[in-house]
């Protein structure tokens, strides 16, 4: 029974989270409660808790990689306030206006650009919901298809770099990869960085956008009642000069951030600084940066950053106590006994993450589950970049899966009261299937993820 304590601790943490308590305090509180009981009964060594101050300092305080988090958040919030999305959507709607499903395609394309510019799911879903949902419903799009497209497009910020999720995943996988190699007797371990994960996610992110657009085109042909054709009097001539002017700023910003990383001229942290500075200049050039708005932007950035780091501290406490109860050995034993070896273990982890996505946020899963299973899977021979991208796409579905999918909540908050919640739930199902299909494709052809990193870094 004692060897099952780590699993009981994990289950208890999930129950406390479902009760609605703050994530950071739920993780740390559950861990400390189990540690106290374990110490009293002689089943837990207090030395693990004595490691906590040094672990927090080296893992969080002195970790320069995590400086990218507030910088990318600042970049995203700044762009959200610059009214960039409104201009992009109106111009893209004209570009794709003559295509069946053109309005839906323009939503996906603009969502992709916003994802690569901001990386914040909530901001993208709310912005696109306010701007495009009324127009799509007015044009005769079915409520389910319209809401599903907006929710799914908003989650692209999870996989298309620069992404906060990839920054956090990359940092955790870096530690897990080193831990896995040390357990294998490799005392000069290779490293995996956030930049590696960014590069590995580019092709899958673009492929996911292509699959979304393909689904809309097929639906427009097979179910014209869901995506009615655009009336001739609603098509406007495209002002290509204006379109280029509107597209240039976000494309230049994306190129500056990702290009500096791909070229090796900047680390992700330095590129985040470039992005935050560029977003500030863009907001200034559009006359959208007043003192009051700047105060609002910095307040939002501070709130989000504080939340992330407090959760990371709570997860560090949880991870230490989990190890103190022998959780890493338990997971390794369980994985080694799963039929199918590495393939079976990877499949089980992906299924567990997908199921947890119904009830937990991506940050909670990233900070709780990945540090537990990551070292074991990597020690079994998985490529860390491939594993990171697979987990990122899997976590992307957590924003869409009822009942607690955050993208659903974001859109419900700005959707008309006459639009039923069941329509939103129905609308995201095809996109969840597309994301699961994407996981299957990457499982069959891992080179889709590893090809570009190998090309650039070799």
Domain ranges of the chain: 2-457
Q: Choose among 221, 226, 164: nearest CA to 197.
A: 164
| Per-residue confidence (pLDDT) for residue 187, from 0 to 100 | 66
Of the pLDDT bands very low, low, confident and very high (cuts 50, 70, 90), residue 435 is very high
Separation between Cα atoms, residue 79 and residue 110, nearest integer Å: 13
Q: What is the pLDDT of residue 119?
A: 64
The answer to whether the CB of 96 falls within 8 A of the CB of 225 is no
The pLDDT value recorded for residue 85 is 67
pLDDT tier, 122 (very low <50, low <70, confident <90, very high otherwise) = low
Specify the pLDDT at position 403.
67
CA distance 359 to 355: 8
pLDDT of 236: 58
The pLDDT value given to residue 235: 52
| Rounded Cα distance, 413 and 111, in Å | 19
Contact 254, 117 (CB under 8 A): yes
Among 101-105, 188-192, 273-277, 310-314, name the one with the lowest average pLDDT.
188-192
Q: How does residue 209 score in pLDDT terms, banded at 50, 70 and 90?
A: very high
Dist. CA 13–CA 359, nearest whole Å: 12
Q: Rounded mean pLDDT of 74-101?
A: 75
Query: Quick one: tokens of 124?
Result: 């993208």
- Region 210-234: mean pLDDT is 81
Task: Give me 188's structure tokens.
Answer: 């000069």
Identify which of 139-153, 162-176, 203-217 has the greatest average pLDDT: 203-217
Per-residue pLDDT of 58-69, as tens digits, reads 878 887 778 888
Per-residue confidence (pLDDT) for residue 94, from 0 to 100? 74
Residue-level pLDDT at 419: 85
Q: What is the mean pLDDT of residues 260-269?
A: 80
Q: Higher-confidence residue: 211 or 58?
A: 211
Q: Is the pLDDT of residue 123 over 70?
A: no
Q: How far apart are CA 52 and CA 32, in angstroms?
A: 12
Distant-in-sequence, close-in-space partners of 216: CB < 8 Å, separation ≥ 6? 101, 104, 105, 108, 149, 227
Compute the average pLDDT of residues 97-116.
81
Residue range 250-273: mean pLDDT, rounded: 82
Q: What is the average per-residue pLDDT within 173-187?
A: 79
Confidence at residue 120, expressed as pLDDT on a 0 to 100 scale = 65
Please give, one letter per residue, the 3-state secondary structure of the chain: CHHHHHHHHHHHHHHHHHCCCCHHHHHHHHHHHHHHHHHHHCCCCCHHHHCHHHHHHHHHHCCHHHHHHHHHHHHHHHHHCCCHHHHHHHHHHHHCCCCCCHHHHHHHHHHHHHHHHCCCHHHHHHHHHHHHHHHHHHCCCCHHHHHHHHHHHHHHHHCCCCCHHHHHHHHHHHHHHHHHHHHCCCCCCCCCCHHHHHHHHHHHHHHHHHHHHHHHHHHHHHCCCCCCCCCHHHCCCCCHHHHHHHHHHHHHHHHHHHHHHHCCCCCHHHHHHHHHHHHHHHHHHCCCCCHHHHHHHHHHHHHHHHHHHHHHHHHHHHHHHHHHCCHHHHHHHHHHCCCCHHHHHHHHHHHHHHHHCCCCCHHHHHHHCHHHHHHHHHHCCCCHHHHHHHHHHHHHHHHCCCCCCHHHHHHHHHCCCCCCHHHHHHHHHHHHHHHHHHHHHHHHCCHHHHHHHHHHHC
The model's confidence at residue 439, banded by pLDDT at 50, 70 and 90, is: very high
- The token duo for 61 is 């305080």
pLDDT band at 429 (very low <50, low <70, confident <90, very high): very high
Structure tokens at 47: 């030395």
Please state, for a pLDDT cut of 90, what percent of the chain lies above it.
Answer: 13
The predicted structure's pLDDT at residue 208:
94
Q: At what angle do helices 406-414 and 143-154 cross, to 10 degrees?
A: 120
**Contacts of the segment 328-333: beta carbons below 8 A, 24+ positions apart:** 328/372, 328/375, 328/376, 330/3, 330/4, 330/6, 330/7, 331/6, 331/372, 331/373, 331/376, 332/376, 332/379
User: At residue 50, does pLDDT exceed 90?
Assistant: no
Over residues 288-299, the pLDDT tens digits come to 778 888 888 888
What pTM value is reported for the model? 0.81
Give the range with max mean pLDDT: 26-40, 75-89, 203-217.
203-217
Average pLDDT, the chain: 82
Contact 85, 107 (CB under 8 A): no
Query: Most confidently modeled of 101-105, 346-350, 399-403?
Result: 346-350
Distance CA 103, CA 107 (A): 6
Query: Taking residues 86-109, what's their average pLDDT?
Result: 78
pLDDT of 376 reads 84
b/e map of 271-283 (b: 16 or more CB within 10 Å)?
Answer: bbbbbbbbbbebb
d(CA 133, CA 85): 14
Separation between Cα atoms, residue 143 and residue 1, nearest integer Å: 51
Burial class (CB in 10 A: 0-12, 13-18, 19+), 422: exposed
Least confident of 15-19, 90-94, 250-254, 424-428: 90-94
pLDDT value of position 447: 92
């Amino acid at each position: 029974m004692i060897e099952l304590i780590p699993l009981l601790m994990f289950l208890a943490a999930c129950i406390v989270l479902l009760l609605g308590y703050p994530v950071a305090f739920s993780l740390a509180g559950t861990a400390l409660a189990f540690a106290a009981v374990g110490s009293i009964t002689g089943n837990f060594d207090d030395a693990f808790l004595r490691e906590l101050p040094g672990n927090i300092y080296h893992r969080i305080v002195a970790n320069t990689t995590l400086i990218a988090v507030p910088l990318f958040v600042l970049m995203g919030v700044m762009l959200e306030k610059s009214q960039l999305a409104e201009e992009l959507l109106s111009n893209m709607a004209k570009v794709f206006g003559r295509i069946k499903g053109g309005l839906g395609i323009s939503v996906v394309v603009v969502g992709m650009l916003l994802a690569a510019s901001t990386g914040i799911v909530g901001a993208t879903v709310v912005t696109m919901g306010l701007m495009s949902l009324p127009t799509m419903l007015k044009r005769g799009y079915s409520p389910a298809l319209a809401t599903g497209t907006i929710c799914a497009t908003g989650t692209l910020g999870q996989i298309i770099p620069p992404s906060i999720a990839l920054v956090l995943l990359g940092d955790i996988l870096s530690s897990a990869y080193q831990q896995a190699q040390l357990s294998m007797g490799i005392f000069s371990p290779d490293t995996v960085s956030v930049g590696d994960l960014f590069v590995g996610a580019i092709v899958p992110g673009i492929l996911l956008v292509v699959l979304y657009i393909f689904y809309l085109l097929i639906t427009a042909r097979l179910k014209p009642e869901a995506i009615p054709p655009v009336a001739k009097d609603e098509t406007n001539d495209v002002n290509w000069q204006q379109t280029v002017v509107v597209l240039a700023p976000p494309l230049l910003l994306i190129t500056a951030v990702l290009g500096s990383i791909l070229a090796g001229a900047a680390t992700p942290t330095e590129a985040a600084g470039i992005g935050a500075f560029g977003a500030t200049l863009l907001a200034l050039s559009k006359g959208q940066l007043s003192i009051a708005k700047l105060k609002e932007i910095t307040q939002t950035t501070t709130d989000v950053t504080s939340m992330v780091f407090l959760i990371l501290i709570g997860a560090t406490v949880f991870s230490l106590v989990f190890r103190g109860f022998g959780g890493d050995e338990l997971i390794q034993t369980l994985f080694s006994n799963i039929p199918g070896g590495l393939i079976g273990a990877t499949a089980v982890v992906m299924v567990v993450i997908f199921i947890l996505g119904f009830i937990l946020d991506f940050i909670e899963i990233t900070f709780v589950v990945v540090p537990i299973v990551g070292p074991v899977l990597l020690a079994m021979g998985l490529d860390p970049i491939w594993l990171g991208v697979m987990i990122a796409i899997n976590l992307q579905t957590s924003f869409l899966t009822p009942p607690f999918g955050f993208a659903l909540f974001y859109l419900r908050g700005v959707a008309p009261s006459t639009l039923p919640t069941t329509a939103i739930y129905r609308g995201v199902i095809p996109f969840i299937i597309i994301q699961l299909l994407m996981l299957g494709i990457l499982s069959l052809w891992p080179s889709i993820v590893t090809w570009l990193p190998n090309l650039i870094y070799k």
